[in-house]
Amino acid sequence: MPSLSVFGAQWGDEGKGKIIDLLARDADVVVRYQGGSNAGHTVIVGEDKYVLHLIPSGILHPGKVNVVGNGVALDPLTFMDEVDGLRERGIPVEPENLRLSTSAHVILDHHRKLDGLAETWLGGGRIGTTGRGIGPCYADKASRTGLRVSELLEPGRCRERLSAALLEKNALFAGVHEAEGLELEEQVEKYVAVGERLRPFVCDTGAYLRGAHAEGKSLLFEGAQGVMLDIDHGTYPYVTSSSTGANGIPSGAGFPAKHVDRLIGIAKAYCTRVGEGPFPSEEHGEAGERLGRKGHEFGATTGRPRRCGWFDSVAVRYALDLNGADGWIMTKLDVLDSFEKICVGTSYKVEGEESLTYPVGCADLNAVEVQYEELPGWQEDITAIRKYEELPAATRAYVEWVEERVGAPIVMLSVGPERDQVIPRGL
Ligand code: GDP
Ligand code: IMO
Ligand code: MG
């Protein structure tokens, strides 16, 4: 298999975990390069359900190397909990199959605390974050005040950096948020201890990945979140704090962009969003409620109900185009099985003007009016179908119609949460 980038082309939760787990069979190395434990990637294997937050979704396949790159905001406590949880379930997690970048920034208690306080501070303007400390950690990275994994491995350095960080953060907690500060020695002890547990996994993952590529190994880059949540290209400020598409790979993995051979987006056959922020094709009525119910749309990380709406071809086209996608995978097609009519957003009306282009810089995306076309449903269970030609004619008509609107080939369909519930279409 060539080296592949697989990323979310909507607002997250597109089914990346399931697809990465499937594609990992043909890869040698699976890599996370951005985001942190805000991600919740679900993999279903028979009766077993795994929700992965930091560890790449290739971990369930023996013999694959899983890499957490330098661009990940690493909560070391969650990381070790995840390692322990997988081991308890009989999944081998050892330095042979899991490597962690020495340069990844670390999410500390003060980041999580600040995430919550900042949301309260914002009140009605809150982002609706996952509360995992992602924004504050990346803010410190950019401010050059963060701690990296390497620093947790050196107690003296850890104390020095933590002391400087807490001096500032405790002043902020007390002065602005009227909240209690954190105690330095307690924090040093806690993070040096977890650093010792991280140590066996830590290495220069960029060098490892470049070497693996030079040896002819195939790499699979697992995006977290989705392009519409990208810090630069998403619905700012209602975004996460990293580069969520293939654009995040070179810096977040320490791997040259030119060695990523194929880029594949993932989008559901409808659309969801968790947290606050504009969602042009959101359905507030019965259709939205029904999509949520049929699709079991509850956050894999926070359990929050996801907002639901129809497929938005303007947003998906933008996300794929932005990343130069070679094609995309449509997931959760089976969720539409019982619908009599299916709507698809085809264009936006922005200040009275119809547009096929996503309006970057639009001051009020909530005011955008989505124009829809309605297609007939198929009202048949498609979850057991494995060949494209065997799908009902109305399903194929829907797929091909959406594909044409989006303007990029659909290379696979997913028709259920299980590993084998896919219909190949050229990937
Ligand atoms: P991710 O964050 O992109 O990995 O997606 P999540 O795991 O947060 O959410 C996707 C949910 O949909 C999970 O519960 C998956 O098990 C489930 N899922 C994935 N693909 C399909 C599919 O094709 N059909 C159905 N019905 N469920 C799916
Ligand atoms: P996966 O990888 C869906 C959303 C949050 C919030 C915004 C910022 O499972 O697709 P953050 O905690 O990142 O500062 O929150 O981003 N968000 C996600 N939504 N899926 C995710 O990950 C998400 N990760 C963050 O709900 O709106
Ligand atoms: Mg998710």
pLDDT (tens, 9 = 90+) of the chain, 427 residues, equals 789 999 999 999 999 999 999 999 999 999 999 999 999 999 999 999 999 999 999 999 999 999 999 999 999 999 999 999 999 999 999 999 999 999 999 999 999 999 999 999 999 999 999 999 999 999 999 999 999 999 999 999 999 999 999 999 999 999 999 999 999 999 999 999 999 999 999 999 999 999 999 999 999 999 999 999 999 999 999 999 999 999 999 999 999 999 999 999 999 999 999 999 999 999 999 999 999 999 999 988 888 899 999 999 999 999 999 999 999 999 999 999 999 999 999 999 998 999 999 999 888 898 999 999 999 999 999 999 999 999 999 999 999 999 999 999 999 999 999 999 999 999 8
Kindly give the distance from the C-alpha atom of residue 343 to the centroid of ligand 3, in angstroms, as a whole number: 24
Contact 6, 19 (CB under 8 A): yes
Contact 202, 103 (CB under 8 A): no
Contact 281, 311 (CB under 8 A): yes
Which residues lie below 8 Å from residue 33, measured CB to CB, with a gap of 6+?
69, 71, 72, 221, 222, 223, 248, 249, 252, 253, 255
Pocket probe mutation, ligand 1, options 222, 306, 332, 419, max atoms within 8 Å of Cβ: 332
Nearest atom in ligand 2 to 129's CA: 15
Q: How far is CA 230 from CA 13, 141, 284, 288, 352, in A?
A: 14, 17, 25, 24, 27
Query: What is the model's pLDDT at position 409?
Result: 98
Q: Whose CA is nearest to atom 8 of ligand 1?
A: 13
Annotated catalytic, 21?
A: no
Q: Which residues surround ligand 3, an ion (CB under 5 A)?
A: 13, 40, 300
Query: What is the model's pLDDT at position 351?
Result: 87
Q: Whose CA is nearest to atom 6 of ligand 2?
A: 129
Of the residues 41, 110, 111, 233, which is catalytic? 41
CATH architecture of 266-424: Alpha-Beta Complex (3.90)
Kindly give the distance from the C-alpha atom of residue 352 to the centroid of ligand 1, in angstroms, as a whole number: 36
Instruction: Report the CATH fold assignment for 105-198.
Output: Adenylosuccinate Synthetase, subunit A; domain 2 (1.10.300)
Contact 104, 71 (CB under 8 A): yes
Kindly give the distance from the C-alpha atom of residue 214 to the centroid of ligand 2, in angstroms, as a whole number: 34
Q: How far is CA 78 from CA 137, 169, 340, 379, in A?
A: 15, 22, 43, 42
Kindly give the distance from the C-alpha atom of residue 375 to the centroid of ligand 2, in angstroms, as a whole number: 31
Query: What is the model's pLDDT at position 363?
Result: 80
Q: Whose CA is nearest to atom 16 of ligand 2?
A: 240
Separation of alpha carbons 226 and 247, rounded Å? 12
For the segment(s) 4-101+201-262, the CATH number from 3.40.440.10, 3.90.550.10, 2.40.30.10, 3.30.70.270 is 3.40.440.10
Query: Could you tell me what percentage of the chain is helix, strand and coil, using 3-state DSSP and rounding each to the nearest 5?
Result: 40, 20, 40
- Element spanning 105, H or E: strand 105-106
Query: What is the model's pLDDT at position 380?
Result: 97
Kindly give the distance from the C-alpha atom of residue 181 to the centroid of ligand 2, in angstroms, as a whole number: 27
Query: What is the model's pLDDT at position 299?
Result: 85
Judged by its nearest atom, the ligand closest to the C-alpha of residue 412 is 1
Query: What is the model's pLDDT at position 92?
Result: 97
Q: Is the four-CA dihedral 107, 113, 114, 118 of positive or negative sign?
A: positive
Domain edges within the chain: 4-101+201-262, 105-198, 266-424
Residues with CB under 6 A from ligand 1: 8, 12-18, 40-42, 44, 300, 331-332, 334-335, 414-417
Of the residues 13, 21, 28, 326, which is catalytic? 13
Kindly give the distance from the C-alpha atom of residue 407 to the centroid of ligand 1, in angstroms, as a whole number: 24
- Element spanning 88, H or E: helix 76-88
Nearest atom in ligand 1 to 300's CA: 8
pTM (predicted TM-score) = 0.98
Pocket probe mutation, ligand 1, options 18, 43, 336, max atoms within 8 Å of Cβ: 18
Separation of alpha carbons 203 and 102, rounded Å? 5
Separation of alpha carbons 28 and 31, rounded Å? 10
Annotated catalytic, 13?
A: yes
Which runs of consecutive H residues, i.e. helices, occur in 128-241?
A: 134-143, 149-152, 155-175, 184-198, 205-214
Judged by its nearest atom, the ligand closest to the C-alpha of residue 381 is 1
